[in-house]
């Protein structure tokens, strides 16, 4: 008995107060046509310093289960790029946003769009581009029908739901409130929320921030939205046109401004003109099924025609009325889908406007 005590595990010291930390590693997988968010939990030792200084290690995962590798060479690397407080678990627990690297070379994986965005941001850093992304999404039941629709039927036509209040007009508010507070507690740059035009459709905004920050924060906010809704058996859809027919689609309108645009209206107009030089390249990379949403109806421009205008929500790019009044500010690219990749959208706008 004495021998087993000597050689067995050391009993816990009642004076020790350290508590292991759970780190939720999040990454974007290789699913096509729209990648999915994945995550797994790593247990790390307690840490007494500031959250921003916490050392976060790289980690591996099975890429053959996420459409990012084959079984005979399955290892991929998770490289942490941003971490924040975990508002779901609380305490010292954290969320870690990662980019994916190839285990064989350490280079960015083909599915890693953040690396290209980082290169563009570094190249045009003197332009000081800022973004604000308006993320629309739709709540669905587990059977795939919109959460705000009567079972087996349709609600009244669009009209009273946008920024609405009251039963029969708004559904899912409890999820919205919890998600918004979670983003605030995580320290994300969430700047607003509102009910959208279709029942069960909502929006939150992230920004203003640079390309990498707004995209990192957006992906963590998306993950938190999925996680909060999970407790209610509600599916979060970022599909471009979740309900066919006379209903608005779901977008990710992307507001942007360079330092020059924030100082000069001529620079705002010049940016809008430049976006018209690479129309198809943008549209083809602004999210799956974009043609079903950009029809020229429901506050959209046709996918294959480019336009811009003041206060015009039927244009590809809208110049807000106060920007025209103040003769400086920003513009809104209304084309990106809700299911777009923020790293790709911010990179394309940066390259086209500043290149």
Q: How many CA atoms lie within 13 A of 167 on its CB side?
A: 0
Do 94 and 57 contact (CB within 8 A), yes or no? no
Do 263 and 323 contact (CB within 8 A), yes or no? no
Query: What is the chain's mean pLDDT, rounded?
Result: 94
Give dist(CA 338, CA 237) in Å, integer: 9
Give dist(CA 254, CA 266) in Å, integer: 20
Paired tokens of 184? 């605030």
Q: Which residue has the tokens 């509600």?
A: 234
Q: Write down the pLDDT at residue 105.
A: 95
With a cut of 90, say whether residue 1 has pLDDT above it: no
Paired tokens of 288? 């799956």
Q: Is 285 helix (H, G, I), strand (E, B) or coil?
A: coil
Give dist(CA 236, CA 139) in Å, integer: 5
Beta bridge partners of 42: 23
Give dist(CA 206, CA 193) in Å, integer: 10
231-287 pLDDT per residue, tens: 999 999 999 999 988 889 999 999 999 999 999 999 999 999 999 999 999 999 999
Ranking 31-45, 131-145, 148-162, 244-258 by mean pLDDT, the lowest is 148-162
């Amino acid at each position: 008995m004495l021998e087993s005590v000597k050689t067995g595990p050391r009993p816990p010291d009642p004076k020790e107060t350290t508590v292991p930390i759970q780190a939720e590693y999040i990454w974007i997988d290789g699913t096509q046509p729209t990648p999915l968010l994945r995550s797994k939990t790593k247990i790390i030792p307690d840490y007494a310093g500031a959250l921003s200084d916490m050392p976060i290690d790289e980690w591996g995962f099975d890429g053959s289960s996420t459409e990012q590798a084959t079984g005979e060479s399955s290892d991929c690397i998770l490289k942490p790029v941003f971490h924040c407080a975990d508002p779901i678990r609380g305490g010292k627990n954290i969320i870690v946003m990662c980019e994916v690297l190839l285990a064989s070379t350490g280079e960015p994986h083909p599915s890693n769009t953040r690396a290209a965005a980082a290169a563009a941001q570094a190249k045009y850093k003197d332009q000081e581009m800022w973004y604000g992304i308006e993320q629309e999404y739709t709540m669905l039941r587990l059977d795939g029908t919109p959460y705000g629709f009567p079972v087996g039927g349709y609600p009244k036509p669009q009209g009273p739901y946008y920024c609405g209040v009251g039963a029969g007009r708004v559904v899912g508010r409890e999820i919205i409130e919890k998600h918004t507070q979670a983003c605030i507690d995580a320290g994300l740059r969430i700047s607003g929320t509102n009910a959208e035009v279709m029942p069960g459709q909502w929006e939150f905004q992230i920004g203003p921030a640079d390309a990498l920050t707004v995209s990192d924060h957006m992906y963590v906010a998306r993950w938190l939205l999925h996680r909060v809704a999970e407790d209610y058996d509600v599916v979060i859809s970022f599909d471009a046109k979740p309900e066919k027919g006379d209903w608005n689609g779901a977008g990710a309108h992307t507001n942007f401004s360079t330092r020059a645009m924030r100082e000069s209206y001529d620079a705002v107009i010049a940016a809008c003109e430049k976006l018209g030089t690479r129309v198809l390249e943008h549209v083809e990379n602004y999210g799956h099924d974009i043609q079903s949403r950009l029809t020229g109806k429901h506050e959209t421009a046709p996918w294959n025609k480019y336009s811009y205008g003041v206060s015009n929500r039927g244009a590809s790019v809208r110049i807000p009325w106060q920007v025209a009044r103040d003769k400086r500010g920003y513009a809104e690219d209304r084309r990106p889908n809700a299911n777009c990749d923020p790293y790709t959208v911010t990179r394309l706008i940066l390259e086209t406007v500043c290149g």
